Amino acid sequence: MANLFPKATNVVLLKAMAVLAVLGGLAPLGVWYYFTPKYSRVGYQPVQPVAFQHDLHVGQLGLDCRHCHSYVEISGQSNFPATQTCMECHQQVQQNNPKLQPVRDSWTTGKPIAWVKIHNVPDYAYFNHSAHVNRGVSCVSCHGKVNEMSVVFQDKSQSMGWCLQCHRNPEEFVRPIAATTPGGKSPIYDLDWTPPPGTSQPELGQKLVKDWKINPPKDCAGCHR
């Protein structure tokens, strides 16, 4: 399934399939195909194997996203943390908390924790984390205020239209990359960052887009490779 339609022309094929589904008396399937992904994914909040809280670990303890999602700026995929990352602290902290039993079990058995993936881009579209994070797009622009979430949910539709909305107006989102906040965090990882007094996002964004020659793909082949 890796390359359902690698070339833009094959998109026509996909559309024809949807039309055929409707004509073939599978109207509900066709309607489902066209309308489901864009709207129903927002708010998706599966039950995770451990009641891990971002608001506690990020919002209160102040951990950087990269402490756990260590690949996000060096790889296309972000990653879920290994059990070892949790055990750095939880070998000492909250040793008897029953909520951490699955973490301790994973540590003794060596079997990874089966985190449920929330955000999903279909195989036929290409997405890369590092290409965004290293170009001034903050986690908050695509995932919302994860630092305030006690249980993570999908905050944005991540539909094609949503990707394009930013690709057409990147100046509304791009941030400086360097550590500029009082806490020493980069505006990419400090989800509460706002432009310094006297500047505004579009103004700052326009400068960054010009300086870095930012030009996100808007053509079909840019994302459907």
Distance between CA atoms of 39 and 58, rounded to whole angstroms? 28
In residues, how long is the chain? 225
Residue 50 near residue 106, CB atoms below 8 Å: no
By beta-carbon proximity to ligand HEC, the closer residue of 76 and 197 is: 76
Q: Shortest Cβ distance from residue 17 to ligand HEC (Å)?
A: 10
CB 101 to ligand HEC: min, Å: 9
Say if CB 45 and CB 151 are below 8 A apart. Answer: yes
* Residue 196 CB, nearest approach to ligand HEC (Å): 20
Of 2 and 198, CB closest to ligand HEC = 2
Q: Which is nearer to ligand HEC, 100 or 204 (CB)?
A: 100
Least distance from ligand HEC to the Cβ atom of residue 98, Å: 9
Q: How far apart are CA 190 and CA 179, in angstroms?
A: 9
CA 74 to chain centre: 15
- Comparison of 95 and 198: residue with beta carbon closer to ligand HEC: 95
CB of 198 to ligand HEC, least distance (A): 24
Nearest CB to ligand HEC, comparing residues 62 and 196: 62
Minimum distance from residue 190 beta carbon to ligand HEC (Å): 8
Select 167 or 207, whichever has its Cβ closest to ligand HEC.
167
- For 72-80, the CB contacts below 8 A with 24+ separation are 72/129, 72/130, 72/133, 72/139, 73/129, 73/130, 73/133, 73/134, 74/130, 75/129, 75/130, 76/127, 76/128, 76/129, 76/130, 76/131, 77/129, 78/129, 80/113, 80/115
Q: Could you give the count of Cα atoms lying within 13 Å of 68 in the half-sphere of its Cβ?
A: 16
Side chain identity, residue 140: V
